[in-house]
A and B are shown apart, each in its own frame.
Chain A
Amino acid sequence: MHLDNLIQRFQNKDKAAFETLHNMYAENICGVINVILKDPERSQELCQDVFVKIWNKSDQYDTSKGRFFTWILNIARNTAIDELRSKSHKNQKKNLPVDSLVGIYENSEDLNGKIDTIGLQSLLKGLKDKCILLIDLLYFKGFTQKEAAKELKTPIGTIKTRIRSCISEIRKNLPQ
């Protein structure tokens, strides 16, 4: 089924369409939350919360928000970051640990084998730390291009070309 049609049905409160979308993206949403929280059990709970939010906010999605996955990715990040802030009482995005993906990549044993460590390591194989850091900021923390540039003290143009190159590296690592 075409994705646009599926989203249309979901926005008309079709639970079967909602289930299909859930099956397509639930593990990804849970993965993003887990990278931020590094707490598998809490991540599973918040993942469900995110899908409840998605259902309740379904009418708020439109194409100006980008891809459907991008929209729910944004909701998931905000939910996880809110959780992190409520725990750490830190109110600024910059105060969040910036190395979450790097940390998971380097210390994946800490998650007690609950995640696909081998898969993650094979995807990130050969990537430089600054690449992993940029992926973390843009995909897992929801930084804008401008915020990422400021955080990494790098020109905006460089952020754009670097993320292109970093994602391309991962694409090379994708199982064929």
Chain B
Amino acid sequence: MDVKEYIASGILELYVAGALSPEENLEVQHYALQHPEIQKEIEAIEETVLQLTRTASPKLPKDNFNEILAQLDDVIPFKPEASKKRTPWGSYLGWAAAVLLAVGLFGLYLENNKLKTEIEITNQERENLEEILSTTQERVIDKEALLQQLRDQNVTVVALGGQAVSPDSYAKAYWNREESKVIIDAQGLPEPPPGYTYQVWSLKLSPLTPTSIGLLEDFATADSKLFSLPNPNESEAFGITLEPEGGSETPTLEQLYTLGAVGA
């Protein structure tokens, strides 16, 4: 090939300008390697363009390259800790709020427990009072019922006077013939000694025939000392003797505490 003609064609100026295709570029390089004059001419054209373009530069700062380095990805690694540096006020506020809430809830819990305890105590007191009221009401009802029984027009009141063993003793028998029932008021009898119990007898006077109508059991613990006993007999008198626990077939007359005749 004619090197001078090739150079004069202007293809090297286009090559430096970047106006050629990749294939043309490789072709130019191929010739440049073979012909040093072509390589030299390319460098001369490039130098001309460098001179020209340099004159249009507004002159770069002295540390231009350092500024470029600072923008390179591997020089400025991505710093996720940059966001960590921010004071996490939101987080602090969140924790503070959580602590306040916890303290508040604990306070409410304590207050609630205190109130629950007070309510429990109040409830207990109320239950106690209700029980007392209930017991009292029951007693009143019992007493009223008893009073009603004693006041019944069919009731015959028999006063039992103290006998030789215990002259100060006394008792009363409220005998309802219609209901075949007798209520013994044993308030005037002394507490029986251990192992003994009072036994109540219905008596026929001629001939003297005693019939047991019952025992005054649990005498010591019976508050009212009132005892209700069945009495289907045609009684003429009532007597109360002290007998061994469990009672006797026949009265122990030496231990007759009180005695009273019906209609006396």
| Chain B residue with the shortest CB-CB distance to A121 | B55
Tell me which of B29, B56, B57, B64 has the highest count of chain A C-beta atoms within 10 A of its own C-beta: B56
Q: Is the interface of B mostly helix, strand, loop or mixed?
A: helix
CA–CA, A159 to B127, complex, Å?
Answer: 118
Which residue of A is nearest B74, CB measured? Answer: A13
Closest residue to A145 on the B side, CB-wise? Answer: B19
How many angstroms between the C-alpha atoms of A40 and B25 in the bound complex? 32
Known: A22-B68, A28-B54, A164-B10. A70 touches B18 (CB 8 A): yes
| Closest chain B CB from A83 CB (angstroms) | 15
User: Could you tell me if B26 and A63 are in contact, using CB atoms closer than 8 angstroms?
Assistant: yes
Residue among B20, B58, B73 making CB contact with A40, cutoff 8 Å = B58
**A124 to B52 alpha-carbon distance, docked (Å):** 8
B42 at the interface (CB under 8 A from A): yes
A51-B68, A163-B14 known; A144-B19 Cβ under 8 A: yes
B44 within 8 A of A: yes
Majority secondary structure, A binding face:
helix
Contact assessment for A138 and B54 in the assembled complex, using a CB-CB cutoff below 8 Å: no
Nearest residue, chain B, Cβ from A163: B13
Q: B46 contacts which chain A residues (CB < 8 A)?
A: 67, 69-70
A111 at interface by CB-CB < 8 Å: yes
The verdict on B9 contacting chain A, using a C-beta distance below 8 Å, is yes
| A-facing residues in B31-64 (Cβ within 8 Å) | 42, 44-61, 64
Cβ–Cβ < 8 Å partners of B73 in chain A: 56
Question: Count of A-B contacts with CB under 8 A?
Answer: 167
Residues A123 and B60 in contact in the complex (CB < 8 Å), given A63-B29, A66-B15, A145-B14:
no
Measured CA separation A69–B71 after assembly (Å): 22
Across the interface, do A48 and B71 meet the contact criterion of CB distance under 8 Å?
Answer: yes
Q: Report 18 cross-chain contacts, Cβ distance below 8 Å, ordered by A residue.
A: A27-B59, A30-B58, A44-B60, A52-B71, A55-B72, A66-B20, A67-B46, A115-B55, A115-B57, A138-B13, A143-B19, A159-B10, A162-B10, A164-B13, A167-B45, A174-B47, A174-B48, A174-B51
CA distance A139 to B53 in the complex (A): 9
Q: Is the CB of B52 within 8 A of A170?
A: yes
Query: Nearest residue in A to B52 (C-beta to C-beta)?
Result: A123
On whether the beta carbons of A160 and B17 are closer than 8 Å, the reply is no
B126 shortest CB reach to chain A, Å: 86
Give the residue of B9, B17, B60 whose beta carbon is less than 8 angstroms from that of A138: B17
